[in-house]
Amino acid sequence: MKTFPDMVELPFLHEAAILYNLKQRHLDSKPYTRTGDIIIAVNPFQWFTSIYTEKVRANYSNKLVWEDHEGDVRKLVEPHVYEISSLSFKGLAFGGNDQSILVSGESGAGKTETVKIAMNHIASVQRGKTVASDETFTDPVVQRVLDSGPLLEAFGNAKTRRNDNSSRFGKYTQLQFDQGDKALTQFASKDGIMCKLAGSKCDVYLLEKNRITYHDSAERTYHIFYQLIAAPDSQKSAFWSGMQGTTNESFRFIGASSTDTIEGKKDGDHWKTTVEVLKQVGVHGDKLKSLFTAICMVLQLGNLSFMKDPKDDDRSVVRDKKEFAALSGLMGVSEQDLTACLTERTMKTRTESYKVPLNADASQEAADSFAKEIYSKSFLWLVRNINDATCAEINYKDGTKTDFGIIGLLDIFGFESFVRNRFEQLCINYCNEKLQAKFTVDIFRSVQEEYEFEGIPLDEIKYDDNTDVLDLIEGKAGLLSMLNEECVRPKGSDEAFVQKAFAANKKSPCLIVSRMNRKEFGIHHYAGKVMYDSDGFVHSNQDTLPSDLFDCAMKSSNEIVSKHLSNEKCSNLAEKDVSAASNKGRAPKRAKSNLVAPTAWTKYKGQLVKLMAMLQTTESRYIRCIKPNVPKKKFVMEHLNTIEQLRCAGVVAAITLSRSAFPNRIDNKTAKYKFSSMWDRSKFPSKSKGDMEPAEKLKCDCEALLTCALKPMEETVDGKVVKMFVTGKTRSYFRMGALEYLEANRTKEMGSTVVSIQRYIRGWFIRK
């Protein structure tokens, strides 16, 4: 049976037809399918060299960006990631609008690889119209970004049950472009357009800290730990003598691993790549030693254990003094100072401060928290170094330029649902809910509301709205507020958080009450039901080191630890001062330790707000990645699993919208200005009248003008004329291909006009 590259053209619109179409294309080695403006990317679990050659790159660039074609130019090419990257560049270069490409999908669906493919092609597009050849080209800026990829994967990726190389953080990469004088962009020809790749930088979100200290038996912690262990003794002992002869089992945070191979490459070989790329981004010599000494500290902190002090039941002591002495030497901190920060806590009131002892469990918790903080700060330090090596502000030849056009690529963790779902899964799924809300607004709601405002009839589009879920999570009495409240209570507990959440949100249709476990709750997410085990939620959300550990870190001989953890303390204290200033004149509060910084969830929500605000300033395009089967086999598509992902991606609703809507639009003033030369007023007079409002007159003029200009494109279906446009109160809307037809004809007319003017001028000079 016939398959359809664009599922908008499916004769029957239902899930079975969509699934069959995708499955057949998957079996035909065609991983990409179009759904209106969205690309569906089905992970083939293999590399198809033939669809990523330099010839193919040039073909998409030329047809979609640099050449003039009538009609819907996308029909000239097969659906591809290159389509999205080409149109994003075109939107920036010729439209002057910052762009974003949002790549989504569950773990293992191929998001990270898709981002790499798009990024490489954007660099190819910006070179201008090229002759198709087999010569491989990679822009130096993009090459630096791609080269840094293994670094972020080494420090931020881990083996999970679903994916051997799962990103455990979110990444928003911004390619920076020099657009010259933006004011001149609209007047420039395609040959004269200025849009040159100048640099890149990336922001990272929500590194999964708990994976540093704990992972399931079938999973691994971060790749870099295994790479370091697999390094030659001569190299790893140069960072710290205690690494000599160590194995995975030497450290509690690592432990036995079922594999030493990730994506066909052994940990030792990955290590060589990691060190080489670190040198390329300027991390070598003392910097390299500082980084891996900090990583060694994390591992050694995991080897500490505590027991009850024989002399005092309320106090704790270190169980293995040899392990403790090794950590002391590694950090460059005295054993006395290290003991104090791990076994005591400084409490403060407005008038005094004093020490209280910690029991064995609290000391162990302090050591683990210290390890997580050191690792996360090392990761951020690495990201800053990568940005310093790639960003336009530092590396671009025009050092005075500060304003760059942006094409952003978002690669963020997909929706997660495991046997046991923890705090991290709730944060990840919350992020996916926010992105789904943006997708809904971009693709569905905004179009429907706009058409209603413009007075254009549009069949009612049914789509899933996740407002109720977001209200449950981030509303005034939502889970976020309840958990933050519990974190500041003297004896806040996970169970109390869950029970208060039930009481405050009992009317929510999205909350699932567990009858079997008082610490368990569930949410009906847009992607399906997920049950969460709240054990450890309060602790994970507090996410703040006591001042004692910060003070100890500041004494370390390691610059990453001493400098970057102290910066965190200053940030926390600044926020505390703001809070204190707002509470002046109130009654003195109880004595407390320095746990006053924003919670993990509050910080993460702040990051998301910033990200969403950034995305709002861009024109967004979407790639929905699909994982066709769990075992990651070639040419296999599991029906139920795939259709569930398609529902989550809103594919059916997107097809409905694309069929009902006119995808291209411009305001009426621009339409009349640009295309009035194609208007034969004698044959197509305007229906405007003298007593009409200016906007209404303009609408009538546009209707007449566009009827005339698009007459050759009209089609007759079932005896009815199908118009290629519709005019609203302030804008004109076009079916696919219509606006491109107008632009192509306008270009031809301008060309012939220029020739006529040149002929007249030459004749004038001859006659003169």
pLDDT tens digits for range 49-85 = 999 999 999 999 999 998 888 777 888 899 999 999 9
Contact 544/376 with Cβ under 8 angstroms? no
Tell how strand 731-734 and strand 725-727 pair up: antiparallel
Whether 191 and 127 have beta carbons less than 8 Å apart is answered as no
Strand (E) positions, 283-370?
Answer: 306-309, 312-318, 344-348, 353-357
Please report whether residue 374 resides in a domain: no
523 within domain boundaries: no
Contact between residue 597 and residue 547 where contact means Cβ atoms under 8 Å apart: no
Q: What is the dihedral of CA 210, 212, 213, 219, to 10 degrees?
A: 90
Q: What's the whole-number average pLDDT of the chain?
A: 88
The pLDDT of residue 399: 62
Half-sphere exposure of 561 (CA within 13 A, CB side): 29
Cite the annotated binding site for ATP by residue number: 105-112
Beta carbons of 80 and 53 less than 8 angstroms apart = no
Per-residue pLDDT tens over the stretch 120-171: 999 889 877 765 555 666 667 777 877 888 999 999 999 998 889 999 999 9
**Cβ contacts of 399 within 8 Å, gap of 6 or more:** none
Distance, in Å, from the CA atom of 729 to the CA atom of 727, rounded to the nearest integer, reads 7
- State the SS3 of 99-136: EEEEEECCCCCCHHHHHHHHHHHHHHHCCCCCCCCCCC
- How many angstroms separate the CA atoms of 118 and 408, rounded? 11
Lowest mean pLDDT of 264-273, 295-304, 730-739, name the range.
730-739
Report pLDDT for 593.
47
Residue with the two structure tokens 């194995």 = 247
Note the pTM of the prediction, 2 decimals: 0.82
Is residue 6 helix, strand or coil?
strand
Kindly report the CA angle at 384 between 252 and 174, in degrees rounded to 5? 115
The total domain count for the chain is 1
Residues 749-753, mean pLDDT to the nearest whole number = 69
Judged by phi (left if over 0) then psi (alpha if -120 to 50, else beta), residue 136 lies in beta
In a domain, 257, yes or no: no
Closest residue by Cα to residue 446 from 472, 422, 465: 465
- Residue range 322-331: average pLDDT? 98
More confident residue, 589 or 63: 63
- The Cα 20–Cα 24 span in angstroms is 6
Predicted local distance difference test score (pLDDT) of residue 754? 58
pLDDT at residue 508, rounded to an integer: 97
Phi–psi pair at 522, nearest 5 degrees: -135, 160
| Domain containing residue 735 | 665-767
Residue 692 lies in a domain: yes
User: In angstroms, what CA-CA distances link 157 with 46, 160, 296, 306, 364?
Assistant: 20, 9, 18, 30, 26
Residue 679 placed within a domain:
yes
Rounded Cα–Cα distance for residues 598 and 541 (Å):
9
Residue 737 lies in a domain: yes
Q: What is the mean pLDDT of residues 560-583?
A: 58
User: Per the annotation, where are the binding residues?
Assistant: 105-112
Q: What is the pLDDT of residue 445?
A: 73
pLDDT in tens, 354-389: 999 999 999 999 999 999 999 999 999 999 999 999
Decide if 684 is inside a domain: yes
181 or 84: whose pLDDT is higher? Answer: 84
Torsion, CA 272, CA 278, CA 280, CA 282, rounded to 10: -150
Q: Are 687 and 721 in contact (CB under 8 A)?
A: no
Task: Give the N- to C-terminal CA distance of the chain in Å, as an integer.
Answer: 70
In a domain, 676, yes or no: yes
